[in-house]
Structure 1
Amino acid sequence: MEVGLSLLAYRDEDLHVIFSPALDMFGYGHTDKEARTSFDETLEEFLRYTGNKGSLQNELARLGWKTAGRASNRTYKAPEFSRLLRQNDQLQDIVNHKEFRKYDRKVELPALA
């Protein structure tokens, strides 16, 4: 199942950072490309680990995601950015104190979680 994910790209001293507030997940690198690769690897490992443990749905619920439907046709909805901004101190710090670029990206979540 494909879902939209908001990502923030910013610099923290000498590092490029990609942050997904909806997954509370980061990628880092010396270049933007390295940060994106790091984020992709972190996301892949998260999905592999939670898939193997059968805990993806519980983890997404803990992060504020809404899920509906049975495993074969489950849908996922990320929390609204405005809600994340109210609840996530790290996100507030990025938005209030860093120059950042927000963009949306499609990611594939497993249908059987």
Structure 2
Amino acid sequence: MASKTTSQIGKLPEGISVRIAVYSYITENTQAIYAPALDLYGYGYTETEAWQSFELALEEYLTYTAENQTLADDLRRYGWQVDEDRQRLTPPGLERLLQLYPDFAETILSRPYQKVDRTLYLILNNRSSRALAA
């Protein structure tokens, strides 16, 4: 499985831990890894390559949102509930994700897949910030 990744994130309270569902499936002879709560994909010829690709996409996403300080707004756009005062992040549930992403709904209804829960640890340190994906 994928190793831990350190990345940049935007303005959110320190120490927030969130669980997201990540789906692994085969499409057109390619392994795909998809996190619908973030609308991020990774692809590869093997599952290991797909996880590496996914980790890179996650790192780039978190770096971009950190540099632009847009993570909270971006998560809201993806249907997350963001309560910065209470330090809570809630990703959208499966039903909402199926509504938001019809292609995702078709994928999990028409092909074998494996669901893995991932925990993202979002940590702020003064001016710099990072996220650890476990």
Both structures adopt the same fold (TM-score exceeding 0.5): yes
* Structure with more of its chain in strand, by fraction: 2
Q: Where does the alignment leave 5 or more consecutive residues of structure 1 unmatched? A: none
State how far apart, in whole Å, the 1-side matches of 2:82 and 2:109 are: 30
Letter in 1 for 2:64: Y
Matches within 5 A, 1:1-113: 1-70=16-85, 74-111=87-124
The superposition leaves residues 34-92 of structure 1 with CA deviations (integer Å, 9 ceiling, x where unpaired) of 1111101100110010011011111000000011134xx63211001121113311111
Q: RMSD of the TM alignment (CA)?
A: 1.8
Report the Cα distance in structure 1 between the residues aligned to 2:110 and 2:32, rounded to whole angstroms: 14
The one-letter code matched in structure 2 to 1:101 is Q
Q: Distance in 2 between matches of 1:91 and 1:110?
A: 29
SS in 2 for 1:18: strand
Q: Which has the higher helix share?
A: 1
- Size of the aligned set, in residue pairs, is 111
Structure 2 segments unaligned to the other structure (5+ residues): 1-15, 130-134
Letter of the 1:54 partner, please give it: Q
- Structure 2 CA distance, aligned partners of 1:82 and 1:103? 17
1:47/1:109 contact within 8 Å kept: no
How far the C-alpha of 1:110 sits from its partner, in A, is: 4.1
Aligned AA (2:96):
R
Separation of aligned partners in 1, 2:23 and 2:110: 13
Question: Letter of the aligned partner of 2:23 in structure 1?
Answer: L
User: 1:91 and 1:108 mapped to 2: Cα distance?
Assistant: 25
**Structure 1: 4+ residue segments shifted above 3 A:** none
Distance 1:45 1:79 in 2: 22
